[in-house]
Chains A and B, each alone.
Chain A
Amino acid sequence: MKDAINIYVEQESGERIELEAPLDMNLSVMEVLKANEFPVQAVCGGMAICATCHVEVLESGPLPEMNDDEAYMLETLPHATDSSRLSCQLRVNPELDGLVVRIMPEA
């Protein structure tokens, strides 16, 4: 089995930056983005209460279902779309391989 998957971040220019996300560290996508110095504030540290880790999923396989906290938070955000997720609630697992996200501008 592979010990890491690839995640892509689409820039405004359309360029996709490839990131390697290890599978054995129980990281969230938010933590992977932060570790790669993307401008994600993640103020609440992954508790689904700040929405400063909001991403739009552009391509993916099946994603884990949203829990209530995430669903409610996204529902109240002005910029959310049908493909929005809180990156702190997406755990890195083999099914996320090839995930493409766009970091949403907040406010």
Chain B
Amino acid sequence: MSKITTDLCIVGAGPVGLFAVFEAGLLKMRCHVVDALPAVGGQLSEIYPKKPIYDIPGFPEVLAGDLIKNLEQQIAPFHPTFTLGERVEDLEKLEDGSFIVRTVDGTEIACKVVVIAGGLGSFEPRKPAIENLEKFEKHGVEYMVRDPEHFRDKRVVLAGGGDSALDWAIYLAGLCKELTLVHRGTTFRGAPESAAKVLSMAEEGQIKLILKSNVSEVHGENELEAVTVMVDNTTPHRIETDYFIPLFGLVPKLGPIENWGLELDKNAIVVDTEAYSTNVPGVYAIGDINTYPGKLKLILCGFHEAALMAQSAYNIVYPDKKFVLKYTTVNGIQELQ
């Protein structure tokens, strides 16, 4: 369990959360960014990394993935710190007006200001409907491959037919004792090279490929011991295995944000447009997660909201200093040490 102290804790590492680091950095405020996903970028990295975006000022065209890379570069001088792969579960307001932000894995972030840039909510794995699946989570059932080494010399059953299922099947086959890929279809979505590679590895016996099938049951005492694969929807086939990894993509869920005592309207946080503050003093909400009359869910609008949020947060972080607006051209970008 780690403990972090910072000025602003930003929940969500989408484009808006990242740009908030820049706006805060210009005003000499430190940021810690938390995201449930193992990588930064929010919807742009998760849903459409290869799509061009045309409405970012100064970029006639930019790929979503490149925009995120540029944002990372733009905020680097401010040395933000990150907790990735952990969902924020709860916010506690202390008597002195500061906050403790807690993640599912017990990381605690003490901060003066909380900025929720949670977009559509945290991206959670899409789970197949298998009885008792949850009982084996962390005991043989995983929904992400965080560290491939974890699976070295083990037996692994992967399920899914998208890019990540294909990529991990190819990668893990070289590492595992035995790798089985179960796919409900007969063709593969995803990069044609990866699909071709999986098929050729299956022919050479490096991957066991079971098409037109679903994993229907999981078995074991405390740890996962085997899965049942329903072949052609009719014939059950038992496979002894150490791990079962269903990879069916991610779905955004508002999740814990609902329970933080914030005023909501249709799954979005109601804000005052003067500074994008919420009904809880010291908590701001910017980007797709907020709502106000005229709200547009665009990256550009989130960037604007981040700028106004930072001006207001400054008064909380530095209550005794008077804020004087200066353009970046006056001082340049001064790194936070």
Contact = CB atoms under 8 A, between A and B. Distances in A.
A and B assemble together: yes
Interface of A: 41, 43-44, 47, 49-52, 71-73, 75-80, 106-107
16 contacts: A43-B43, A43-B251, A49-B48, A72-B185, A72-B189, A75-B187, A75-B189, A76-B165, A76-B185, A76-B248, A76-B249, A77-B126, A78-B129, A78-B246, A79-B129, A107-B125
Nearest to B250: A107
B225 interface: no
Contact of A78 (B43, B120, B126): B126
A83 to B, nearest CB: 14
**Category for how many chain B residues contact A:** 20 to 34
A75 B186 CA distance: 8
A43 B120 contact: yes
Closest 10 CB pairs of A and B: A75-B185, A72-B189, A78-B128, A107-B126, A76-B161, A107-B251, A76-B162, A78-B248, A106-B251, A107-B127
Interface string B156-196: 00011110010000000000000000011111110000000
B135 interface: no
Contacts of A51: 126, 249, 251
A49 B188 CA distance: 14
Contacts of A49: 47-48
Interface of A, secondary structure class, is loop
A72 B187 CA distance: 8
B89 interface: no
B189 to A, nearest CB: 3
Interface in B230-254: 246, 248-249, 251-253
B124 interface: yes
Contact of B248 (A43, A47, A71, A77): A77
Contacts of A73: 189
Contacts of B160: 76
Interface string B27-44: 000000000000000010
A56 to B, nearest CB: 13
Indicate the member of A44, A50, A71, A76 with the most B CB atoms within 10 Å: A76
Contacts of B126: 51, 77-78, 106-107
A43 B129 contact: no
A107 B124 contact: yes
Contacts of B252: 41, 43, 52
Indicate the member of A47, A50, A52, A71 with the most B CB atoms within 10 Å: A50
Contacts of A79: 128-129
A51 B189 CA distance: 13
A85 to B, nearest CB: 15
Contacts of A78: 126-129, 159, 184, 214, 246, 248
B189 A76 contact: yes
Contact of B184 (A41, A44, A75, A106): A75
Nearest to A47: B48
A52 B189 CA distance: 17
Contacts of B249: 51, 76
B251 A52 contact: yes
Contact of A44 (B47, B161, B162): B47
A79 B160 CA distance: 12
A104 B125 CA distance: 16
Given A52-B251, A73-B189, A75-B189, A80 B184 contact: yes
A48 B184 CA distance: 18
Nearest to B247: A76
